[in-house]
Amino acid sequence: MLPQDFTKRMKDMLGEEFEVFQNSYNHEKYQAFRINGLKGNADMFRQYYGNICKLSGQKEDHLTAVPWCGSGWYYPADVRMGKHPYHEAGVYYIQEPSAMAPAEYLAAEPGERVLDLCAAPGGKSTQIAAAMQGRGILICNEIHPARAKILSENIERMGVRNAIVTNESPANLSRIFINYFDKIMVDAPCSGEGMFRKNPEAQEEWSQENVRLCAERQVEILEAAAGMLKPGGRMVYSTCTFSPEENEGSISRFLHKHVEFYIEEVTLYDGMETGNPEWCQQPAEHIERTIRLWPHRVRGEGHFLAVLRKRGSGPQERSGSRYGEEKGISLKECRECMEFCEAYLKELPEGIPVRFGDTINLLPAGAPSLHKLKVLRAGLQLGTVMKKRFEPSHSLALALKPEEAVYSVNLPAEDRRIFDYINGQTFELQGEKGWHLVCVDGYSLGFGKLAGGIMKNHYPKGLRKMLR
């Protein structure tokens, strides 16, 4: 049962259309995944999609594209996308289809500085990372520590090299980064009304008081984001709620205070609707340029987004971090790491080497100083120095392509050794002694160390699982 006050408000908003909206809750939720552009492309993946269907005990179904996301595809409920080696290899990200729209409208590009301010669990961050193709600086922030950890794990699984994961308040970030970012994603915490069909528990947590509190918090978050965006930069605000107070209302209150911002006019896809000026007090200019996704009009859940532009132009107006850039070290200062890279990588990855105790990471070029930041993931972790030897990280394995490793073993998805490997077991293999990149159908999955015809397992213990 939908909350009574929610139902009354939706009837007032939708009028004769309310019954169709209400009936949408009787429809099964739509499921979709997004192919990871850092691992491959749609053509490369589709030839292997049948393997997932086969493992699920289902016939191969025709994939239907998500209209607003070039890498997004719907899939039927009986195909177990989360129970396949491809998922562990970060080949795709399972994501609610409507939630793919905001990052598409952000349109991040390689070489930019981008902030995902409320980033957990990582769907939008990894979508942005794929668009950036490993070039530029991506800061993914989450204020809640437990959720920040999940965000960091998803950044790793998807093989992202240029992301810095932080656990900060938006206010603290705004004191460090002034006019710094080319683009900012603000997927604001909200009352979650758009997820009632997908997550019935959200109905029990809903209240009009929570709607009001969310709206207040959203304006605070937008306030922090405003000063971090460079003049001429783009910011996308999104929620998964229907509440005008949190949508048209939050944007209008923000724009009335920040005249340096305006709503961009963008193309809508079939089924999307514009925002409604009549649903909020003192609507901002062009509030009808905001976008709503309704569950009875699109194949997805409820969503709202606004594409904002900060007046001004030119990269010269982009400023630096309060504490400057990270200086880093030379890899030559870590002999063990350098010897590993020379022996097992065809070329050194690009970036700024930094050392945290015994761990060596690569930050993206031009990365800001990490001084006074709570950092969970600093770019790409290369590995750890352990008693005068170097052990490569799982992050490095997932970020590499087979052609970047000196030694790699490529096994088909149906090979039992792949499942044994993910479960933490060794397997027999003939080849050169040393570190090998273990791949499934050309997608990197992890490291193994070959000795005496046995591939010793270096798949992280915390990730090991039975897939069949």
Which sequence positions are flagged as catalytic? 240
- Alpha-carbon distance 334 to 342, whole Å? 12
Residue 405 is classified by DSSP as B
- CA end-to-end span of the chain, whole Å? 37
- AA letter at 380: L
| 118 and 141 Cβ atoms separated by less than 8 Å | yes
| 411 and 440 Cβ atoms separated by less than 8 Å | yes
Tokens encoding 313: 């132009």
The per-residue b/e assignment along 133-148, b for 16 or more CB within 10 angstroms, e otherwise, is ebebbbbbbbbeeebb
Sequence-distant (≥ 6) Cβ neighbours of residue 174 within 8 angstroms: 224, 225, 227, 228
| 172 and 228 Cβ atoms separated by less than 8 Å | no
Task: Output the CA torsion 284→288→292→294 (10° steps).
Answer: 120
CA distances, 134 to each of 75, 162, 361 (Å): 28, 5, 15
Residue 345 is classified by DSSP as B
SS3 content of the chain, % helix, strand, coil (to 5): 35, 25, 40
| 190 and 407 Cβ atoms separated by less than 8 Å | no
Tokens encoding 82: 């989360």
Which of 258, 370, 353, 242 minimizes the C-alpha distance to 312? 258
Residue 160: helix, strand or coil by DSSP?
Answer: coil
Residue 14: helix, strand or coil by DSSP?
Answer: helix
Q: What is the pairing mode between strands 303-310 and 352-356?
A: unpaired
